[in-house]
Copies of this chain bind each other. A is one copy, B any other.
Amino acid sequence: MTAGSKADGAPKRVPLADQLRAELATGRFAPGQRLVEADLTERFQASRTRVREALQHLAAEGYVEHLPNRGSRVRRLSRRDVRQIYELREVVEGLAARRAALGIGDPDLRHGLHALWAEMEMAARTGDVARYLPLNTRLHDRLIRADGSVYLQAAAERLRVPILRLQFEVLMTTPNLQLSHDQHAEILSAIEAGHGEGAEIAMRKHLRSSFEAVWALPDELFDR
């Protein structure tokens, strides 16, 4: 996977931001942890120029917070943040679900969702959280992309990714996986039926439920 050295195509562009983002998404860095430029230059064998560029990107995306003259750190969310994020997610992803239902005529979408659903069934039956969470992400991703709106996609992504870590905690520490799975079923069912209104309602219900589960997490996981 790493640097395709000689034979294969040049290492071309592996934007540093992508690597960092991937590590952040999987929780490799602790929230609140400082991201010192000098450390990153060594860790990734890149110049400070590129490290700073990557950090700016991630800050713009909300993964990282940047304080003037004080550097960057992995974003920590307060309960207030979480509430505001979910409030917005409800309308944004609600719209996405509605649009996906209206666009279910597209075979690509239909098959994609079907395949995804099969995998999720597997993971849910075995209660395999580590496998379910990425599938969950991919499902929401697929729905967000269904409409082909880069704006919808960008807005939704910015809201979804920062709370991935908390979502992981939720699925880990409670029997919420099955509940979440049932709600996904409801959403997909409405979408497959081409029922936009129902899909939106189901999605909003799902997100509100997800919010409540996150809200119930212990204080240590939040900022402030």
Chain A residues with CB under 8 Å of chain B are: 13, 53, 56-57, 60-61, 68, 81, 84-85, 87-88, 91-92, 94-95, 147, 149-152, 154-155, 158-159
Contact = CB atoms under 8 A, between A and B. Distances in A.
Contacts of A158: 151, 154-155
A150 B162 CA distance: 14
Contacts of A56: 53, 56-57, 60
17 contacts: A13-B68, A53-B56, A56-B57, A56-B60, A84-B150, A87-B95, A87-B149, A87-B152, A88-B95, A88-B151, A88-B152, A91-B91, A91-B94, A92-B92, A151-B158, A154-B158, A155-B159
B159 A84 contact: no
Contact of A57 (B60, B85, B88): B60
Contacts of A13: 68
A24 to B, nearest CB: 17
A85 B155 CA distance: 11
Given A56-B56, A91-B92, A152 B84 contact: yes
Contacts of A84: 147, 149-152
